[in-house]
Amino acid sequence: MSIAELSEQEIIRRNSLQELRNMGVEPYPQAGYDVNVTTQDIRDSFDPEKGNFQQVSIAGRVMSRRIMGKASFAELMDEKGRIQLYFNRDEMCPGEDKSLYNEVFKKHLDIGDFIGVKGHAFITQMGEKSIFVKEFTLLSKSLRVLPIVKEKDGVIYDAFTDAEQRYRQRYVDLVVNPQVKDVFIKRAKIINTMREMFNERGYLEVETPILQAIPGGAAARPFITHHNALNIPLYLRVANELYLKRLIVGGFDGVYEFAKDFRNEGMDRTHNPEFTVMEIYVAYKDYFWMMEFTEQMLEKVAMALHGTTKVKIGEKEVDFKAPYRRLTMLDAIKEHTGIDISGMNEDQLRNVCKDLHIEVDATFGKGKMIDEIFGEKCEHHMIQPTFIIDYPVEMSPLCKKHRNNPELTERFELMVNGKELCNAYTELNDPIDQLERFQDQLKLSEKGDDEAMFIDLDFVRALEYGMPPTSGMGIGIDRLTMFMTGQESIQDVLFFPQMRPEKKAKTATPEDFVKIGVPEAWAEHVIKAGYASVEKLQEEKATQIHQKLNGYRKKNKLEITALQLDEVEKWIL
């Protein structure tokens, strides 16, 4: 990196780095640092009457400094929070040499540096629990300036809020916005709670392929890649459903996977190209059983996270206490439109759509029209957890037909806060029916539906060997985390949401200018004087460049030889 690209403060920090080395202080020491306490331990448990925490050793990042002559205060932040440090010159440097305090601490320590300190806990005159520092060690120097965020009585000053920077440089976001960490700690807790529950019941956590030759299990556009050695296209999975069911065929009675899926579709507040889904399949169960399982699971997660089943989502309070309401799709439509569509044929449905001002075109079948009516008129009303059950068969090619009505399937989606959270089936295990459903998808594909499912003949073959009755359920972990933590954007529950790559501002280096004949002493200053590229410089007349650069030399009192015009003329030839 050329010095020309650094800000004033960054240059100062690099100079400090060198000064420290000159003094024999290594800014990036190899040795570890023994830590025997966290900031939280001291905040929670320090009691001067008990006289505890009198030999503490703690490490973290310096987040603020207040220097007043021989005494100074600083804030140290570790993973658990912050604590104030008190530095006193004569305590730290009992002898004649005061350089550890005067030079290392006062001059060359910056906000963002990692240090380790040893000392004892005490309470200041202002009543704040603090550490009286006897010894300190620089553990790692920070060369970039962190945003400064201050807080007083819950009011945050100068918050680091720029969404683009927060997502691109999540590490900075996490350092200065502690509430961000909290969302991700909760996310881990959600996943752990679910995993513990599944393991207690004896279900097996498994891993299945992400690179798939046939991207099955969901209607979605896949990412495509290429395997060189096999010389075949491979797809990033859009779902893991078909692999998990193969494992049920193989004799496992309960399998689950926390899986990253990938869909090459639009991005918005609720969609990221890669996202996490938990799918679970349990043998000898049907979708009624799975509804009970799902509501128990969510109740448990809410309790583990909040100690209550009631969760605030925006202005609304959602109660995850089981059991949840069950409503068939047709009843939901009846409830919210007053129209009973059961038994209607395609033309009748088309008229209903027209009456409800729902746009449909000629290609829409019955299933798709029913789905449209539900999406337009019902979905957003489902604030409290509600199981919507019994979907039209056209929409669910992997789901078993309804035991009482062949036009429907035994499927449920769990709606929360007007959005889909879970999707589950009594799984289709009739291989002949499955093949026909795949063939129907192929017809859709031939009509131009680029999201129709591929035919997976190996999956059909697996079903031909026999799969026990099985129920399966999938739940979006990102969306669940959004609900459980009150975040409105998926970007706030992913550490590194997908972003368009940062464009490197193409800036010339001094070497580029040296190549066209610019003296080395001048190269850096040519850039600083405003010539961002060689081309830019060569567009101008030699006389103009000559004047501008010598003017720059004079203005900045540079101690380098002034340029001659004939010299400059040679650069632009």
Partner RNA sequence: GAUUCAGUAGCUCAGUCGGUAGAGCACAUCCCUUUUAAGGAUGGGGUCCUGGGUUCGAAUCCCAGCUGGAUCACCA
Residues 6+ apart with CB under 8 A from 264: 220, 221, 222, 223, 273
Considering beta carbons, is residue 489 or 550 the nearer one to RNA? 489
Smallest gap from Cβ 232 to RNA, in A, equals 25
State which of positions 319-378 bind RNA (CB under 7 A).
none
Measured distance CA(14)–CA(6) in Å, rounded:
10
Sign of CA dihedral 251, 252, 254, 255: negative
Residue with tokens 């309401």: 325
Measured distance CA(406)–CA(24) in Å, rounded:
82
Smallest gap from Cβ 199 to RNA, in A, equals 27
Smallest gap from Cβ 223 to RNA, in A, equals 13
Stretch that binds RNA, among 80-88, 188-196, 222-230, 275-283 (CB under 7 A): 80-88
List the Cα angle 211/213/215 in 5-degree steps: 80
Smallest gap from Cβ 105 to RNA, in A, equals 11
Stretch that binds RNA, among 3-11, 42-50, 329-337, 558-566 (CB under 7 A): 3-11
The burial of 383, by beta-carbon neighbours within 10 Å (0-12 exposed, 13-18 middle, 19 or more buried), is given as middle
Measured distance CA(319)–CA(383) in Å, rounded:
10
Considering beta carbons, is residue 308 or 439 the nearer one to RNA? 439
State which of positions 371-410 bind RNA (CB under 7 A).
395-398
Smallest gap from Cβ 499 to RNA, in A, equals 4
Smallest gap from Cβ 200 to RNA, in A, equals 29
Smallest gap from Cβ 44 to RNA, in A, equals 17
The torsion region of residue 307 among left (phi > 0), alpha (psi -120 to 50) and beta comes to: left
Considering beta carbons, is residue 299 or 371 the nearer one to RNA? 371
Question: Torsion over CA of 431, 432, 437 and 441, rounded to 10 degrees?
Answer: 90
Stretch that binds RNA, among 22-30, 70-78, 225-233, 377-385 (CB under 7 A): 70-78
Considering beta carbons, is residue 137 or 509 the nearer one to RNA? 509
Which parts of 320-408 are beta strand (E)? 325-328, 386-389
Among 33, 52, 57, 65, binds RNA (CB under 7 A): 65
Among 78, 274, 451, 567, binds RNA (CB under 7 A): 451
Considering beta carbons, is residue 305 or 401 the nearer one to RNA? 401
Residue 134's Cβ-side half-sphere holds a number of Cα atoms within 13 Å equal to 9
Among 12, 143, 303, 360, binds RNA (CB under 7 A): 12
Considering beta carbons, is residue 310 or 443 the nearer one to RNA? 443
Among 41, 331, 379, 420, binds RNA (CB under 7 A): 420
Considering beta carbons, is residue 65 or 80 the nearer one to RNA? 65
State which of positions 212-251 bind RNA (CB under 7 A).
218-220
Residue with tokens 């031909």: 464
Smallest gap from Cβ 450 to RNA, in A, equals 9
Measured distance CA(28)–CA(25) in Å, rounded:
9
Considering beta carbons, is residue 66 or 354 the nearer one to RNA? 66
DSSP, collapsed to helix, strand or coil, labels residue 114 as strand
- At 479, give phi and psi (nearest 5°): -65, -40
Reply yes or no: is the peptide bond before residue 385 cis, omega within 30 of 0. Answer: no
Among 31, 32, 79, 152, binds RNA (CB under 7 A): 152
Considering beta carbons, is residue 65 or 321 the nearer one to RNA? 65
Residue 485 tokens read as 């933590």
Considering beta carbons, is residue 305 or 415 the nearer one to RNA? 415
Considering beta carbons, is residue 91 or 319 the nearer one to RNA? 91
Residue 174 tokens read as 């996490």
Closest by CA position to 287, among listed 186, 398, 205: 398
State which of positions 120-149 bind RNA (CB under 7 A).
122, 124-128, 130, 132, 145, 147-149
Measured distance CA(262)–CA(500) in Å, rounded:
17
Smallest gap from Cβ 271 to RNA, in A, equals 5
- Is 478 among the residues that bind RNA (CB under 7 A)? no
Contact call for residues 384 and 417 (beta carbons, < 8 A): no
Measured distance CA(429)–CA(146) in Å, rounded:
57
Give the C-alpha distances (Å, rounded to integers) separating 527 from 3, 507, 524.
11, 9, 6
Smallest gap from Cβ 12 to RNA, in A, equals 5
Considering beta carbons, is residue 101 or 256 the nearer one to RNA? 101
Considering beta carbons, is residue 40 or 533 the nearer one to RNA? 533
- At 327, give phi and psi (nearest 5°): -145, 130
State which of positions 155-184 bind RNA (CB under 7 A).
157-165, 167
Among 111, 174, 304, 358, binds RNA (CB under 7 A): 111
Instruction: Give how far the C-alpha of residue 483 lies from the chain's centroid of Cα atoms, to the nearest Å.
Output: 15
State which of positions 255-284 bind RNA (CB under 7 A).
263, 265-266, 268-269, 271
How many residues touch RNA under the rule CB under 7 A: the total is 69
Q: Count CB-CB contacts under 10 A for residue 345.
A: 8
Residue with tokens 């090619």: 397
State which of positions 495-554 bind RNA (CB under 7 A).
499-500, 503, 505, 507, 532
Closest by CA position to 107, among listed 156, 146, 141, 57: 141
Measured distance CA(357)–CA(523) in Å, rounded:
68
Stretch that binds RNA, among 150-158, 222-230, 323-331, 456-464 (CB under 7 A): 150-158
Summarize as ranges the residues that interact with RNA (CB under 7 A).
7-9, 12, 64-71, 73, 84, 86, 88, 107, 110-111, 122, 124-128, 130, 132, 145, 147-152, 157-165, 167, 218-220, 263, 265-266, 268-269, 271, 395-398, 420, 423, 451, 453, 489, 491, 499-500, 503, 505, 507, 532
